[in-house]
Structure 1
Amino acid sequence: MEKTEMSRREVIVYRGIWYVMTLLSLFGLSISLNLLWPPGGKSPALSRFLRDGAVSATTFYAVTLLRYLLFTDPPSTNGYKDFTTLKERCPQLLFAELALPALLTSTIIYSGFVDDHDVSSVLYMSLFTISLFIGGTGLIQLSDKFRMDMKHAYITLLCGCLSWLFGIYFFIYGGNNNVVCLIIIIVYSMYASFIFSYNLDKEERSMNSRVSPLPA
C-alpha cells in the first residue's frame, strides 16, 4: 500500500499535539483524584477498589507517556499513511463507537455510587472519565502500532467531549425519565452515524489524494 509521506515539521507538530493532550489529561486525573480522595480525608462513598484502580490508571498513563517521550526512537517522516481499507478502519471505529456511549452515560452510572444525588462527587468522577478518554486517545496516537487515522482521532476527540458535556447536562437537569433516555439515544446515534459515515467515505479515503492530517 502506498504511504503518504509527511514532512519533519508535520511529524513534530502532530506528535506535539498529542503529547500536550496527554499531559493535560494527567493534570485532570491528578485534580480529580485529589478531589475524590483528599489527603487525610474520607472517601465520598467510594470504595478502596475504585481508588486503587484510579491511581493505577493514572500511573500507567504517566509511565507510558514518559516512555514515549524519553525512551523511544524519534519518529520517521515516512511512517504515516492514509487508512484506506476497511480492515485498517475497523479498530478505530470500534474504539469510537464504544467510547461515546460510555462518556454519555458515565455521569448517570456514577450517580449510583454516591448518596443523596451528590452532584459534586459525580462531577469529580466525570472529570476523571474525560481525562482518561483524552489521555487514552493521546497515548494511542503516540503509539506506532495502535495509531488511528489522524482526522478520525480529531473527530472522535471532539464527539467524545461533546458526549461528555451532554451526559453532565442530562444528569444535572434531566433527571431519570424516559425522555432523557430517548435524547441520549438520539445524541449517540447522531455522533455514531457521523463517525461511521466518515470511515466509510471512500472518496475521502482515496489513495491518490494528499490532504494534510494536521488541523488548520
Structure 2
Amino acid sequence: METTEMSRRDVIVYRGIWYVMTLLSVFGLSISLNLLWPPGGKSPALSRFLRDGAVSATTFYAVTVLRHLLFTDPPSTSWYKDFTTKKEKIPQVVFAELAILVLMTSSAMYSVLVDHDLTLYMSLFTISLFTGGTGLIQLSDKFRMDMKHAYITLLCGWLSWLFGVYIFIYRPSLSVAMIFAGVYWMFGPFICFYNFPSEEFSINSRVSPLPA
C-alpha cells in the first residue's frame, strides 16, 4: 500500500473542513427541531417517539464532534493512507450509494405523509443528518473514507437532496419524477466508476489528500 508524506498544515485544513461541516449540521438539526416542534406549540402530525429520536440524534452528533475536537489525540502529521484495494473501497461505496438513495427518496416519502411545510422541515433534518454523519465518519480513524470520495459523496448527496426537494415539494408530477430518477442513475454509476475505474481510463489520481 502506498503512503505519502503530509504536512501538519494539510492535516489541520482537512480536519477543519469536517469539523465545520459537522458543526453546521448540528446547527441545521437544531433549526429543524425548532421548526418541527416549536417551543410551547404542538405538532400533531409527528409523534413523540419521532421527536425523542430526533433529539437523541442531534445530541449524539453534538457530543461526538466535541469528543473528536477536545478529547482525542491529534492524527499523525507524517503519513496518511491511500485506498488502493477494492476491499477498502467497498464500504465507502455502499455508504455513498445508500445515502444518496435515501436522500432522493425521502422527500417523496415526506410529501406523501405530511403537508408542505413539514416536508421541507423534515428534509432539512435529513440533509443535516447526512452532512453530519459524513463529517463524523471522516473524523474517525476506523471508518474514515478516502477524502476525494467523501467530497464527491457530499456533493452528490446535496445535489440529490436539492433535486428531491424541488421536484416533490414544488413541482410534483410524474414526468418530473422520471427526470429525478434519471438523476439518481447518473450519480450512482458515477461513484462506482470513480472507485472502480476501468484499466483503460482512471479518474483517480495517484495521491489522495486523506489525513492519517
| TM-score (norm: length of structure 1) | 0.90
Match of 1:149 in 2: 146
Q: Percent identity?
A: 73
Say yes or no: does 1:198 pair with 2:194: yes
Q: TM-score scaled by structure 2?
A: 0.92
Q: Compute the displacement of 1:77 (Å).
A: 1.6
CA–CA distance in structure 1, aligned partners of residues 143 and 105 of structure 2: 26
CA drift at 1:210? 3.1
Aligned to 2:128: 131
Q: Secondary structure at the match of 2:100?
A: helix
Which consecutive unaligned segments of at least 5 residues does structure 1 have? none
Matched residues in 2 for 1:97 and 1:20: separation? 24
Residue 81 of structure 2 is matched in structure 1 by 81
1:47 to 1:79, Cα distance in 2 relative to 1, 3 A: farther
CA RMSD of aligned residues (A): 1.7
Listed as ranges, the matches of 1:102-181 within 5 Å are: 102-114=102-114, 118-175=115-172, 177=174, 179-181=175-177
Distance 2:207 2:130 in 1: 29
Please say if residues 18 and 141 of structure 1, whose CA atoms lie closer than 8 Å, have aligned partners that are also in contact.
yes
Once the two structures are superposed, residues 42-67 of structure 1 have per-residue CA deviations (whole angstroms, 9 ceiling, x without a partner) of 01510111111111110110111011
Q: What residue number does 1:182 align with?
A: 178
Count of aligned positions:
208
Aligned partner of residue 4 in structure 1, secondary structure: strand
**Secondary structure of 1:80's match?**
strand
Is the CA contact 2:194–2:204 (under 8 Å) kept in the aligned structure 1?
A: no
